[in-house]
Amino acid sequence: MIYSLDKINEMAEGDQEFVQSVISVFLEEVPTDLQDLESALEDKNYEQVYKLAHKIKPNVDLLGMEQTRAAALEIETLGKSEANMSEIEKIFPVLQKDIAQVVAELRKDFNL
């Protein structure tokens, strides 16, 4: 398991509806943001790459996905500085794989 509910549970203070809500929002938004990020990479749109990585970062952080957060941060930084797009394209598959794995695990673990 590459995610942890520790941060969410701490924020929820026992409110399981809150936990479900956060998980549902993650499952709704993050895969879409990831697809949009992939399109922005294909279009070489640095501003969109930056914005989408910036949007994904706190969502994966909330689930304790440190490696994924680091990848999103690196993509965000490279996008903001309009660095070499091929560097971003090397990091993106890590982000993509981790998020796909967590989405599958969350759907299974929460029967969603």
Residue 1 has pLDDT above 80, yes or no: no
Assign 6 a pLDDT band (cuts: 50, 70, 90).
Answer: very high
Q: What is the pTM of this model?
A: 0.92
Sketch out the chain's domains with CATH numbers: 6-109 (1.20.120.160)
What pLDDT digit, counting tens, does each position of 62-94 carry? 999 999 999 999 999 999 999 889 999 999 999
Cβ contact 87:76 at 8 Å:
no
Residue 2 has pLDDT above 90, yes or no: no
- Please report, in angstroms and rounded to a whole number, the separation of the first and last CA atoms in the chain: 17
Mean pLDDT throughout 45-61?
97
Cβ contact 79:88 at 8 Å:
yes
Assign 22 a pLDDT band (cuts: 50, 70, 90).
Answer: very high
pLDDT of res. 112: 85
